[in-house]
Amino acid sequence: MTIHKEGRTLLLVLFLALAAVTTASFLFLHSPGSCIIATISLLSFLTVLQFFRHPSRQWVTGNDLIIAPADGKVVVIEEVYEPEYFKDKRIQVSIFMSPFNVHVNRHPISGTVKYFKYHPGLFLVAWHPKASTDNERTTVVIERPDGKALLLRQIAGALAKRIVWYIKESDKTVQTEELGFIKFGSRVDLFLPLDTKINVTLGQKAQGGITVVGSWK
């Protein structure tokens, strides 16, 4: 287990600030007030620390497999119209990332980034029906050499107000390698061809880089 690079500066600043507050409380307050402040500071730091944990895992890969891009709960599996890039019907699979999940996003397949766009927007709760189209988000289309492609969308929520991505158009992607990071939770959507065999169920807990979301023939 390591700390992800996206959290290192924030955690250092938070540690110094909480340490200063705690030290001041012991200097100027009497117990139990100073003990309460110290406890709150410790719990606050540990809470933020777990947001940025980066566990080591044995990644699952496969040429015809679509691997979960994020940790979280599968909250949507349905046929929808995708209007931004494909402009046709797709199977949408959405994974909700709570503040307690690992926040790293990973490439579900290997291929080439054919399309990328960042959309500024709102910060509706991640399970809101309009979050996929109205919230701050990124849209990534990855295409395999054989022409099969999927669309992935990072979506910010009410708490997650910073999306980080490590890709641009024409980049080559490697399955399970890091695509980006959503700070403090939110949601990742996949839009898959209609003939995709879906291997997950509603309510299932997915692990990024491990859970097989679906497969292609």
DSSP assignment string, 73-88? EEEEEEEEEETTTT-E
8 A C-beta contact, residue 4 and residue 181: yes
Q: Which of 56, 170, 186, 215 is catalytic?
A: 186
Q: Which residue has the tokens 């065999």?
A: 197
Residue type (1 letter), 193: P
Q: Which residue has the tokens 């849209």?
A: 139
- What is the spatial distance between Cα 156 and Cα 188, in angstroms, rounded to a whole number? 9
pLDDT tens digits for the chain (217 residues)? Answer: 677 676 677 768 777 887 777 777 777 776 677 777 777 777 777 777 767 777 778 899 999 999 999 999 999 999 999 999 999 999 999 999 887 888 889 999 999 999 999 988 665 555 555 556 667 889 999 999 999 999 999 988 655 557 889 999 999 999 999 999 887 668 899 999 999 999 999 999 999 999 999 999 7
The CATH class of 65-215 is mainly beta
Q: Could you state, in order of their start, the residue ranges of all structural domains in the chain?
A: 2-54, 65-215
- Confirm whether pTM is higher than 0.85: no
First to last CA, the chain: 35
Using DSSP's 3-state secondary structure scheme, residue 33 falls into: helix
110 flagged as catalytic? no
Length of the chain equals 217
Element (H, E) at 67: strand 65-67
